[in-house]
Amino acid sequence: MIESQEHYLKQTYRNRCIIATANGLMSLSLPIDKIVTEKANIRDIRISDHGNWQHLHWNSIESAYNSSPFFEYYADDIRPFFEMKPKFLFDFNESIREKICEMLDIPGKAEYSSEYMKEENIPADWMDFRKIIHPKKSPTTVDPDFTAKPYYQVFNHKFGFQPNLSILDLIFNLGPESILYL
């Protein structure tokens, strides 16, 4: 179940990702229109059409991964997301998530919440992952046994293994084996 009724939270991965480039890690952030209320529904968050972020993001991704083993194989699946003019952050994220699942052969269609579910109301047999992955939290804070397993990365020789990057890093570097890594 994907939470589709939550309040938008700033400084999360809802509008950003991190990629590895020749100069180190780079954060790619989708610009969003000014939010007029602190309790704005995630479905109402508009992506700003200010600037040329799509072009800048795609150029950064292409520059970072064009020498990766599977960039040519997957680039045509990913590039359209950086050519369109998306209106809403939630819809944009979901379309990318669906494409990634398709590319990785992850079956199933997601269900979306019809109303916001407070933590205390989540059924005991469910797991709540809404706050697990956060740019300001180490994965070991949530799971002390977590260790990111290294895989081949383009700039490994320069920076060593860089954990917790965008799924694009995994896909462009491991290709069809990405699902096995996950």
Helix ranges (H only) for 40-130 are 53-65, 71-78, 89-103
- CA 54, CA 102: separation in Å to the nearest integer? 22
Residue in this structure with the two tokens 């999360």, named with its chain if needed:
12
Is there a domain that residue 119 lies in? yes
pLDDT at 31 over 90: yes
In this prediction, residue 69 carries a pLDDT of 97
Is there a domain that residue 4 lies in? no
Is there a domain that residue 146 lies in? yes
Is there a domain that residue 58 lies in? yes
Going by pLDDT thresholds of 50, 70 and 90, the confidence category of residue 47 is very high
- CA 95, CA 79: separation in Å to the nearest integer? 13
End-to-end Cα, the chain, rounded Å = 19
Q: Hey, CA dihedral for 147, 100, 26, 35, is it positive or negative? A: negative
Angle between helices 89-103 and 71-78 (to 10 degrees): 150
Is there a domain that residue 98 lies in? yes
Is there a domain that residue 125 lies in? yes
Domain of 55?
13-181
Is there a domain that residue 6 lies in? no
pLDDT average, residue stretch 145-173 = 94
In this prediction, residue 105 carries a pLDDT of 93
Token pair for residue 81?
């997301």
- CA 178, CA 142: separation in Å to the nearest integer? 23
**For residue range 115-155, what is the model confidence (pLDDT) as tens digits?**
988 888 888 898 888 877 777 777 767 777 778 899 999 99
* DSSP structural state of residue 2: B
- CA 117, CA 121: separation in Å to the nearest integer? 6
In this prediction, residue 29 carries a pLDDT of 93
Q: Hey, CA dihedral for 131, 136, 140, 141, is it positive or negative? A: negative
Which distant-in-sequence residues (6+ apart) come within 8 Å of 10 by Cβ? Answer: none
In this prediction, residue 128 carries a pLDDT of 83
Is there a domain that residue 1 lies in? no
Domain count, the chain: 1
pLDDT average, residue stretch 88-111 = 93
